[in-house]
């Protein structure tokens, strides 16, 4: 197994070559991936909003934005600028701290989870041993932020929305964790990098989605519920609660919520790609491609190209899932709160448990195929 | 051992008059226990425009342009009842051709109204996309209205004794094209919506209204028919020329939101069928043919006969409503639209009482939503199909 591209090592070596102390060189490296991921995550979320507009327009036989830049691609920028220059209104009797901190907590928790999304062997901010578990842990902070926002707004719609968000997140965290657990059991690791590596070897055939079809569906449903996307967008159900917990928000604070929801969606799609669709692996393994072209993987140029293919692959898979999510949102009606909880507790949870049990049994029976 | 007691105060929450799914300016004061609805109190009157009082010092022709603002989505019906009331009181005959044109317009209007019920109903339960699909077809109906009447919504087309103008050149063909285009589109809605499991779960068994309750509450229209009463004024009253056509009353027995949905979809299909038959049987045929025949045969032509006119005689602006009182009703898309008129042998009606179907149907809302979830309020309210213009008048 090749280690592939290691930007950190090259960067540190380069700085040391210029004459910096090893510690200083490493310290200089540290902020770079964080800034890069922050920037790229924001861009991906903006692209997601544009896609949402364009795809929903196509579904509804409209054209969608078309004048702001080519194909209306500048419309997310226009959105951001508009929200930045708007007056930030806080209702008179809202709780100042809860109201202000709510969106911040939500965005922070989502952004933090980008830490563990790998785009290549070494293209990940931190390859934590608890990787995917960290995401599950962090993602349960977001509903606290929503609850803060809902409770602090001094608005009954907001309060109901916040409570719905809390109830929904708690119910869907469990099947989500169970689905992830089955994958982790097969990979013998919680690290996202290990999970992807375990899906290598046979290209598209080695992806987890074939070995975990049930888990894949559970994960996808639960992830949609976690992202509060239709058919599970109860906390912000427009026709019932006006805008749920965001009712009283405007300008930058609203933008934070808006950004958080799309960041979260992109993150969930990325994680589907990582957990079930082979992460950065291309459908035909890079090694095979390289051998067809008689290229050595040690070649630096090949490594750079392989790294870029890896990033592209991850994004293609993630955006395919995003496309499905958007299509779903504009096709189906919304479920009711009791149906939502029934689905979570009475259907996904038992199915998730059965799936976990089945995975364990298969792992014992066929250790070769199920990562024994 | 002491138990920790958890107790919640019921929350009174205000929906509307400015709320995305209150269909205009309805206001509901809802008492909630968590997500459960304990009580619901509708508050009306935000769109009250003294429609009935204004009628008392307007002649029929003066009042006609205003009536399309009662139910602004089924405009032809408001005009129909406005001219029917004095017509019946003064016993003014309507030529057969005019009656056919009226039926065509009424049924087109019924389709338009049901379409603009379907979109918001689905939007109320979270699916936004059908809204755009229904507008595609509704636009065509409004184009037809525009071609025939000059206006898309507030057409002012009906006149005492007939309609304001004959159908223009080519209109009959266009309308027929529309009907043939529209019927498959209803199937398209069905494919998109009917068997969607989430949709089924949201509407089946929700807002069940029993047959007895529906009758006792004075329901009419699809609300009544979905509860198992086969009552359609077009069949019951035999008004206009509905008896000339072969069509079925759409009804269902479940009485829930889904039954109302199926009834309305079925009515759209039946309406399209009625229009097709009316276009075929239109006395005198399309306008261009009728005029050609008149010109060819000269003043003695049988095509100059009464039944081939679009209006019995040009209504006088000071048409006197004779002394007497009368209740006139039509089957509007939302139910029984009636007018109780008291004439005083003057151009103005002495009293003009409107019986709007939306207002009567809305009364049952508190009973239907009690004990349901918050989200069901929207599904039930959507299935009742109210237009605040006619509820508040």
What confidence tens digit (pLDDT) does each residue in B51-79 have? 888 988 888 888 888 888 888 888 899 99
CB–CB contact B375 A61 (8 Å): no
Alpha-carbon gap, residue B323 to A40, rounded angstroms:
79
> Which is nearest to A15 in space by CA: A25, A24, A23, A6?
A25
Per-chain mean pLDDT for chain A: 83
A171-193 pLDDT tens trace? 888 888 888 888 888 888 888 88
Alpha-carbon gap, residue A70 to B159, rounded angstroms:
52
Beta strand pairing call for B36-43 and B27-33? antiparallel
Angle in degrees, CA A10, A13, A14, rounded to 5? 85
pLDDT beneath 50, residues of chain B? none
Cα torsion A192, A194, A197, A198 to 10°: value is -110
Say yes or no: A320 contacts chain B, CB-CB below 8 A: no
pLDDT exceeds 60 at position A4: no
CB–CB contact B129 A60 (8 Å): yes
Q: Give the best residue of B375, B378, B379, B383 to mutate against chain A (max A CB count within 10 A).
A: B375
What band does A1 get if pLDDT is binned at 50, 70 and 90?
very low
Alpha-carbon gap, residue A46 to A73, rounded angstroms:
10
CB–CB contact A230 B136 (8 Å): no
Q: How far is B105 from chain A (nearest CA, A)?
A: 28
> Which is nearest to A359 in space by CA: A230, A181, A198, A197?
A181
Q: For the packed helices A131-139 and A156-187, what is the interaxial angle rounded to 10 degrees? A: 170
DSSP code of residue B311: B
CB–CB contact A240 B35 (8 Å): no
Helix (H, G, I), strand (E, B), or coil: what is residue A238?
A: helix
Confidence (pLDDT) at A102: 87
Confidence (pLDDT) at A159: 86
Q: How far is B157 from chain A (nearest CA, A)?
A: 32
Identify whether the C-beta of residue B273 lies closer than 8 Å to the C-beta of residue B247: yes
B364-388 pLDDT tens trace? 888 888 888 888 888 898 888 888 8
pLDDT exceeds 60 at position A3: no
Say yes or no: B200 contacts chain A, CB-CB below 8 A: no
Query: Between A62, A157, A242, which is nearest B132 by CB?
Result: A62
The token pair that represents B137 in the structure block: 């077809």
Q: How far is B290 from chain A (nearest CA, A)?
A: 40
Query: Between A60, A238, A336, which is nearest B202 by CB?
Result: A336
Q: How far is A168 from chain B (nearest CA, A)?
A: 13
Say yes or no: A156 contacts chain B, CB-CB below 8 A: yes
User: Which residues of chain B does A62 touch, with a Cβ-Cβ cutoff of 8 Å?
Assistant: 132
CB–CB contact A240 B11 (8 Å): no
Helix (H, G, I), strand (E, B), or coil: what is residue A3?
A: coil
Q: How far is B125 from chain A (nearest CA, A)?
A: 6
What DSSP letter does each residue of B313-354 carry, written as one string? SPPPTTPPBPSEEEEEEEEETTEEEEEEEEE-SBSSEEEEEE
Query: Between A157, A239, A337, which is nearest B35 by CB?
Result: A337
Identify whether the C-beta of residue A158 lies closer than 8 Å to the C-beta of residue A121: no
Q: Higher pLDDT residue, A235 or B344?
A: B344
Query: Between A59, A157, A339, which is nearest B201 by CB?
Result: A339
Q: How far is A190 from chain B (nearest CA, A)?
A: 35
> Which is nearest to A175 in space by CA: A235, A232, A129?
A232
In chain B, which residue's Cα lies nearest the Cα of A336?
B375
Query: Between B13, B20, B126, which is nearest A231 by CB?
Result: B126
Confidence (pLDDT) at A2: 43
Identify whether the C-beta of residue A91 lies closer than 8 Å to the C-beta of residue A248: yes
Confidence (pLDDT) at A372: 58
CB–CB contact A333 B196 (8 Å): yes
Alpha-carbon gap, residue A125 to B243, rounded angstroms:
77
Confidence (pLDDT) at B33: 83
Say yes or no: B196 contacts chain A, CB-CB below 8 A: yes
What band does A72 get if pLDDT is binned at 50, 70 and 90?
confident
Alpha-carbon gap, residue B9 to B14, rounded angstroms:
16
User: Which residues of chain B does A338 touch, with a Cβ-Cβ cutoff of 8 Å?
Assistant: 35, 373
pLDDT exceeds 80 at position A200: no
Alpha-carbon gap, residue B54 to B47, rounded angstroms:
15
CB–CB contact A157 B21 (8 Å): no
Phi-psi region of A338 (alpha: psi -120 to 50; beta: other; left: phi over 0): alpha
User: Residue B224, exposed/middle/buried by CB under 10 A (0-12, 13-18, 19+)?
Assistant: buried
Q: Residue B268: which H helix or E strand, with range?
A: helix B257-281
Distances (CA, A) of A354 to A212, A214, B168: 12, 10, 69
Say yes or no: A228 contacts chain B, CB-CB below 8 A: no
Q: Residue B252: which H helix or E strand, with range?
A: none
> Which is nearest to A211 in space by CA: A361, A346, A332?
A361
């Amino acid at each position: 197994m090749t280690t592939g591209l290691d930007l950190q090592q090259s960067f540190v070596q380069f700085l040391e070559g210029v004459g910096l102390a090893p510690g200083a060189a490493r310290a200089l490296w540290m902020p770079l991936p964080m800034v890069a991921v922050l920037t790229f995550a924001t861009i991906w979320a903006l692209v997601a909003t544009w896609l949402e507009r364009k795809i929903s327009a196509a579904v509804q036989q409209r054209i969608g934005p078309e004048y702001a830049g080519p194909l209306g691609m500048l419309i997310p920028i226009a959105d951001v600028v508009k929200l930045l220059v708007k007056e930030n209104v806080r209702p008179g009797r809202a709780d100042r701290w809860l109201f202000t901190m709510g969106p911040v907590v939500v965005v922070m928790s989502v952004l933090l989870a980008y830490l563990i999304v790998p785009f290549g062997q070494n293209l990940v901010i931190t390859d934590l041993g608890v990787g995917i578990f960290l995401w599950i842990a962090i993602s349960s902070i977001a509903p606290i932020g929503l609850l803060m926002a809902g409770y602090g707004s001094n608005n009954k719609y907001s309060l109901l929305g916040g409570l719905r968000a809390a109830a929904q997140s708690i119910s869907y965290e469990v099947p989500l964790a169970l689905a992830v657990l089955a994958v982790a059991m097969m990979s013998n690791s919680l690290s996202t990098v290990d999970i992807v590596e375990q899906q290598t070897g046979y290209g598209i055939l080695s992806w987890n989605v074939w070995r975990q079809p049930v888990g894949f569906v559970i994960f996808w449903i639960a992830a949609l519920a976690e992202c509060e996307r239709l058919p599970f967008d109860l906390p912000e159900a427009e026709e019932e609660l006006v805008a749920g917990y965001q009712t009283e928000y405007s300008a930058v604070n609203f933008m934070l919520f808006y950004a958080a929801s799309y960041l979260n969606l992109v993150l969930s799609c990325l994680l589907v790609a990582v957990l079930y669709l082979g992460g950065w692996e291309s459908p035909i393994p890079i090694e095979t491609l390289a051998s067809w072209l008689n290229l050595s993987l040690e070649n630096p140029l090949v490594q750079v190209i392989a790294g870029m293919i890896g990033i592209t692959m991850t994004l293609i898979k993630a955006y395919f899932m995003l496309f499905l999510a958007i299509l779903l949102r504009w096709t189906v009606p919304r479920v009711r709160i009791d149906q939502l909880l029934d689905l979570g507790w009475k259907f996904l949870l038992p199915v998730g448990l059965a799936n976990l049990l089945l995975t364990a049994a298969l792992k014992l029976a066929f250790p070769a195929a199920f990562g024994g | 051992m002491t138990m920790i007691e958890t107790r919640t105060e019921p929350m009174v929450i205000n929906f509307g008059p400015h709320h995305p799914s209150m269909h205009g300016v309805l206001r509901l004061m809802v008492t909630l226990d968590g997500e459960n609805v304990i009580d619901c109190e509708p508050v009306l009157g935000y769109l009250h425009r003294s429609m009935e009082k204004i009628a008392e010092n307007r002649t029929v022709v003066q009042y006609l342009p205003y009536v399309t603002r009662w139910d602004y989505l089924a405009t032809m019906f408001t005009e129909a009842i406005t001219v029917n009331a004095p017509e019946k009181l003064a016993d003014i005959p309507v030529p057969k051709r005019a009656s056919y044109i009226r039926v065509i317009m009424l049924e087109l209007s019924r389709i338009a109204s049901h379409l603009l019920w379907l979109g918001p109903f689905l939007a109320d339960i979270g699916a936004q996309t059908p809204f755009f699909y229904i507008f595609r077809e509704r636009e065509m109906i409004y184009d037809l209205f525009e071609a025939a009447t000059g206006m898309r919504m507030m057409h002012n087309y009906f006149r005492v004794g007939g309609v304001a103008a004959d159908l223009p050149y080519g209109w009959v063909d266009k309308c027929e094209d529309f009907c043939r285009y529209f019927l498959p589109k209803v199937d398209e809605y069905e494919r998109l919506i009917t068997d969607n499991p989430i949709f089924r779960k949201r509407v089946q068994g929700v807002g069940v209204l029993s047959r007895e309750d529906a009758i006792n509450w004075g329901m009419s229209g699809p609300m009544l028919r979905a509860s198992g009463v086969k009552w359609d004024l077009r069949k019951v009253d035999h008004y206009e020329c509905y008896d000339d056509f072969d069509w079925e009353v759409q009804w269902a027995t479940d009485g829930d939101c889904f039954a109302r949905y199926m009834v309305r979809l079925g009515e759209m299909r039946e309406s399209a069928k009625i229009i097709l038959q009316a276009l075929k049987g239109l006395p005198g045929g399309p306008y261009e043919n009728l005029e050609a025949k008149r010109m060819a045969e000269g003043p003695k032509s049988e095509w100059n006969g009464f039944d081939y006119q679009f209006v019995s005689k040009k209504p006088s602006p000071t048409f006197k409503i004779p002394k007497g009182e009368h209740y006139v009703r039509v089957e509007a898309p939302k139910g029984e639209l009636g007018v109780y008129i008291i004439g005083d042998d003057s151009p103005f009606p002495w009293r003009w009482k409107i019986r709007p179907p939306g207002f009567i149907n809305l009364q049952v809302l508190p009973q239907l939503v009690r004990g349901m979830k918050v989200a069901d309020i929207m599904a039930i309210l959507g299935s009742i199909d109210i237009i605040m213009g006619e509820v508040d008048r």
